[in-house]
Structure formats: structure tokens, C-alpha cells
Chains A and B, each alone.
Chain A
Amino acid sequence: MAGTLAEKVWDAHVVRRAQGEPDLLYIDLHLLHEVTSPQAFDGLRLAGRSVRRPDLTLATEDHNVPTTPGPITDPVSKTQVETLRRNCVEFGVRLFPMGDVDQGIVHVVSPQLGLTQPGMTIVCGDSHTSTHGAFGALAFGIGTSEVEHVLATQALSLTPFKTLAVNVDGELPAGVTAKDVVLAVIARVGTAGGQGYVIEFRGTAIQALSMEARMTVCNMSIEAGARAGMIAPDQTTFDYLQGRPHAPTGADWDAAVAQWSTLRSEDDAVFDAEIHLDAAGLTPFVTWGTNPGQGLPLSASVPYPESFEDESDQASARRALEYMGLTAGTPLKEIRVDTVFVGSCTNGRIEDLRAAAAVLRGHQVAEGVRMLVVPGSTRVRLQAESEGLDTVFTDAGAEWRLAGCSMCLGMNPDQLAPGERSASTSNRNFEGRQGKGGRTHLVSPVVAAATALRGTLSSPADL
């Protein structure tokens, strides 16, 4: 287990190590949002404690925010957001509220500010914190009690994770995106396969990915059961960061890059487990079932439950087909959707929007399909508008929205009605995830766009 990237970052953050106890790790950045913080701040207040490092803490509003203009109308959502605002004022934490130019989905906001940097430990009360691992940070989701713990101590007690190397080598075929790569990885590893592991994504296909594409991959590490996902920083990472508001400058920049350049697994590093995928063999990938591991190439058909070896996988598949209203043997490309959602911390960044717009440009969303395009942050929205992407979306008949978590999870007005079926660029297709009785197919942005045009699950090649 020597010399892996994850271990290097871990070891550099050990405050205290003692026999028979978890390590105490220092946390370089603590991100907050309105859903998992209220009870944590209450706990601090009750115990008479303060936030140890408000200067290493940042909050945003994302899960509850409406993506149409106007105030929050749901009283419970409103309370939650107002609670965060009061807490941030009381405890001196910087907050980007609705209406602020820096507001957005927490895992889009931190990277775009250049606040997420290589070698950092980053936590947030949200499982998709793994996103930041794309920068070579050790970043993972925590529960509310741990949020309180980090607020109070700026540290966490943790047992080291095991390491899993996921090697993707070769060149991705045209039309195959980071989303397809990670969906294929999850199908291979399973939703529990990564449990107890931090995944390091390696190989020439990973190195060829842009930072936003790397974020898509690391974002969904949690869906493979892994606690975190990482990609070693390189010139692509440094180029992305240079000049961003919170990136170091001058002599600090040089010192930082020198240190960041050491953040890679040694050539003789030993991982606890390792898998290999051939990039050239990958194709557009979609989910058919009710967990992110129930995915297949778009060219395939809905599987027969009996085709699974494991009895509990068979039962799972049977249940999934029933919930999803699918018949085994149906080609995935014949599945009709009524809703298409482009957005989320997985695929809500400018490159995702550009990719979707390129497919939609000059065409019309199919009859009977509602399409929502939700930028991941207000800055992404403004960037997209300056490039005229918003006009491409609205001309095609899609809705262009304000930034927020939106239809990823049923907590704000953007939801599926019972029985509705979506092609969604988000990260989870659990029963009821996008709304009670809603049926979710996870796809890449270009598949989402092609699906919107044809009305059935499609890739641009089908147009």
C-alpha cells in the first residue's frame, strides 16, 4: 500500500496517530449547504462552541433553491435556507446566497473559484464531495455530526481507506464522454464494489480528460460505493487553476506547483485492488434500473432478470423493471421519455452545456418532451449566456433555468410526477429520487440532448 496518491495526501494531514485509534486528520476546506448544516450549528450553539476556522469554511444555497425567478415558496425549504443565513452571520461563515453572482451548486462553486486545489483535504455534508478529487484532493462526504465536528475542531477522526486503481487506457471513441466512462466503471465495480476504498482514476484516457470531465468522473465515485475518487494533478490541473480568484500567485504559485507536482502515485506504488478498462471499447452508456450500477451500453436491451448470476441481483432487477415500467428485451433506444434534465454537480458545467447545445443547435425538442437545462452555478449561467447557449436551448424548445441542484433530487420545485420518465445528466436513479414514482435514466449531456430531439433514449449518432 506504499506511495499512492491517496496515501501521500492522507499522511500529510495526520494531526495525531495512535495505536488502536482512527487517525485525526486536518481539514483544509469545509464546504456547507443548507440541508446538512442546521443541526450541526445547533449542536455548536448548545455546547457553547464556535467555528474554529471560519476562514477555511464556505457555504452556498443549492439543494432547495428554485431555478425559476422569485422567492422560495415552500415554507419548510424557506426555513432551512433562512436558518443557514442566520447561522452564517452568527458564526462568521462566508455565504453565497440566492441572487449572489458566486452562488451555485457547492461542488461547482468551489472549483470555479480556484478554492479546490491539489493535495487538500476537503469535506462537505454531501456525498458528491468526491467531485473535488479531480484535482488530486482527498475529498469526501460526511454526515451532519461530522459537519459539527469539523466546525468545532477543523479535524476528523478517520480510519484510512483502502486504495483501488481504476485504469482507463487508450483513446475514447467520438461521442463517448466522461459520464459514459464512469457509468461503465460503476457497472463493472457494482454499487458496493468500492466500499472502503478511495478510487484513483489513472491511465491515458483519464489524463486526456479536461478538468470538468475529470470532475464528472470523480463525482460518481460514491455511486461505486467508494468514499472518495482522485485523479493526480498535472499540467491540465495547473492550467485550470492559474489565475482563478483563490489560486496562489507569484512565488506562492511556484511553490504550490512544485509541491503539487509530487502528488502522484509512485511507479512502484501498490494498490489494494486494481481494474483495467479499455477506453476504445467504451460506448455511450445509460442506466435502465434503480441504482447507478444497473447500466448498459445504449445499444443494448433491457436485461432479463434471470440473466444475472446472483439471486439477489435477480430480485433487484425484477423489482427495478417493475418500478421502471420496463419489459426485458426492449431495446434501450426504444424507451420513450417525457422529461430531459441537463444539469447537476455531475454535468452542470460550461463544457456540458456547450456539448448539449451543439447537439440541439438548429433542431427542435420532440413533441411531448419537457427539457430543463440548469447551469451548475450563476457564473456558469452568465458564461453560457455570453456564448449564446441560452438562445440555442430556448430556440430548441428547452427551458433555460437559474443555478441550483434542481431535478437531481426531489427537494425543490423541479420534480418528476409519478410515472414520468427522464433522461437525466445527474447521478442517482434510485426509486423516487427525482420525485415520488419518478423514473430516472442516467445519461451523458450529449445523450440527453439527442434524446430530447428524438423522444427516445438516443445518442447523437442516431440523429
Chain B
Amino acid sequence: MDKFTTHTGVGVPLRRSNVDTDQIIPAEYLKSVARTGFEHGLFAAWRKDETFVLNNPSYAAGSVLVAGPDFGTGSSREHAVWALMNYGFRVVISSRFADIFRGNSGKQGLLTAQASKRDVELIWGVLENEPGAEVTVDLRSKTITAKGLSVPFELDDYTRWRLLEGLDDIGLTLTHEAEVTSFEAKRPGYMPTTTGV
């Protein structure tokens, strides 16, 4: 995983709350067995509407999505994260993220920057005032900057550390393999296995 220290890109104001993962990537796109190509499914239903924000040329090259609260609710489909990243997004800013979505994002290096509702409104104001304006998200200082505006965001320390260092979760866990083995040795004998009976 690449290190994430700071990112600057066009901000996209998505004035919707409770954006569920069926909207981020509809089920029909989940049939793919690849990890790429999901950009075509990103917000597929909403993009049919020509007034949808991503259909506005000023925002089309956006890489910082700024959304209303409760982003990523519903299904555990990590494809939602892949769709956002395949499209080009590196950061999603919202005042609240659904747990599974937030976790999935952390695994892939999509930064879920949690800012206050008020600050999200302020950022929306800047982006709508000047379509195509860039937003800088600095993971080291945990700040979001857009034109004259500078606001803080939150991310748990552990994920922040992993993203800053570009560390792979599985590699980290395997450094503790001996502890997994010793735990296994102590599991009760009545616990089931999936072996055919």
C-alpha cells in the first residue's frame, strides 16, 4: 500500500446524506472478479441524471469527495471503496461514516476524514462558489484546506499510522503468528470444524 501523507485535488460537493453502498456501487457491478474497472459503476444510478454533481465538467476530475453525514451505510461491499478509488478519489470527507465502510477504506488507503457537520457545510460553500477548486487534505496535521478555509478532521490513530507508513494489514498480523498458534492450541475441543461429518 502506498504511503498517504497529503493529497491535493479537486473537491466534489455531494449534498446527500445517508449515501448507502447500493448507491455508491449497485449490485450488478459486484459480479466482477477483478479489483479494477469499478469506476463505471460509481454512483451509476445517480449519474444517469445530468444534474448529478459528477456530470458537471468542473467536478468530473474530482479526487476529494465531500459528502453529507452517514456515508457508506448498508452492505459490506468493499467494491464501494474500489469504485471510489478506481474513479480517482483519494479522500472522502463526511461528518459520520458507517463502520464497515470506514474499515474497508482504511484497508485500501482511501482516507475517510471525519469533519464536523458545520465544517462540511463550509467546504461545500467554497466548492460550490468556485467549481474546480482544489482541496488539500494533510494526514500529518489532520487538516483540510480549501481556499482560505482550514478545518480539522479526525481519524483513529492506528489507521492514521498505517496510512502514513503505507503498512499492509496482513503483513503486520503475520508478525504475530506465533501468538495465533499458541491461542489455537488452547481452544476447547468441542468447538466445531467445517470438515464433512
Contacts and interface: CB of A to CB of B under 8 A. Distances in A.
A149 B81 contact: no
Given A127-B75, A159-B156, A35 B30 contact: yes
Contacts of A21: 158
B76 A115 contact: no
A256 B17 CA distance: 46
A245 B195 CA distance: 11
Interface size class of A (residues with CB under 8 A): 35 or more
A365 B197 CA distance: 42
A394 interface: no
Given A83-B33, A191-B70, A436-B45, A430 B194 contact: no
A127 B170 CA distance: 21
Interface in A65-87: 74, 76-77, 79-80, 83
A157 B169 contact: yes
B191 A145 contact: no
A155 B180 contact: yes
Nearest to A249: B190
A141 B100 contact: yes
Interface stretch (A55-63, A176-184, A334-342): A55-63
A237 B73 CA distance: 31
Interface stretch (B58-66, B101-109, B140-148): B101-109
A114 interface: yes
Nearest to B177: A153
B73 A143 contact: no
Contacts of A64: 31
Given A127-B75, A432-B22, A20 B158 contact: yes
Nearest to B183: A15
A234 interface: no
Interface string A96-130: 00000000000000000011010010000111000
B86 interface: no
A47 B73 contact: no
A80 B33 contact: yes
Contacts of A115: 192, 194
Given A142-B76, A432-B26, A79 B33 contact: yes
Contact of A192 (B32, B70, B176, B189): B70
Contacts of B31: 35, 64, 74, 76-77, 79-80, 411
A152 B170 contact: yes
Contacts of B193: 55-56, 246
Which of A15, A79, A245 lies at the interface centre, i.e. has the most chain B CB atoms within 10 A of its CB? A15
Contacts of B104: 143-146
A36 B183 contact: no
Interface string B1-37: 0000000000000000110101100111011111100
B190 A253 contact: yes
Contact of B69 (A155, A256, A312): A312
Contacts of B45: 431-432, 436
Contacts of A35: 30-31, 77
A153 B180 contact: yes
B33 A142 contact: no
Interface in B90-149: 96, 98-100, 103-104, 107-108
Contacts of B179: 15-16, 24
Contact of B170 (A47, A54, A252): A47
Given A74-B31, A191-B73, A428-B74, A227 B180 contact: no
A246 B197 contact: yes
Given A149-B169, A291-B18, A411-B31, A36 B99 contact: no
Interface residues of B, number: 59
Contacts of A303: none
A225 B18 CA distance: 11
Contacts of B81: 143
Contacts of B103: 142-143, 146
A115 B172 CA distance: 30
Which of A20, A49, A225 lies at the interface centre, i.e. has the most chain B CB atoms within 10 A of its CB? A225
A409 B78 CA distance: 16
A207 interface: no
A245 B197 contact: yes
A255 B180 CA distance: 24
B192 A15 contact: no
Interface in A385-432: 409-411, 428, 430-432
Nearest to B105: A143
B131 to A, nearest CB: 22
B173 interface: yes
A219 to B, nearest CB: 13
Interface in B152-197: 156-158, 169-170, 172-174, 176-177, 179-180, 183-184, 187-197
A29 B194 contact: yes
A428 B22 contact: yes
Contacts of B157: 20
B32 A76 contact: yes
Interface of A: 15-16, 20-22, 24, 26, 28-29, 35-36, 38-39, 42, 47, 49, 52, 54-58, 63-64, 74, 76-77, 79-80, 83, 94, 114-115, 117, 120, 125-127, 141-146, 148-149, 152-155, 157, 159, 191-192, 195-196, 222, 225, 227, 245-248, 252-253, 255-256, 259, 291, 312, 315-316, 409-411, 428, 430-433, 436
Given A120-B191, A145-B108, A315-B17, 7 more contacts: A15-B183, A56-B194, A145-B78, A149-B170, A191-B70, A192-B73, A248-B192
26 contacts: A24-B176, A29-B192, A29-B194, A36-B78, A39-B35, A42-B35, A52-B180, A54-B194, A64-B31, A74-B31, A76-B31, A94-B195, A115-B192, A127-B75, A143-B104, A145-B108, A149-B170, A152-B173, A153-B174, A192-B98, A246-B197, A259-B190, A312-B69, A411-B27, A411-B30, A428-B74
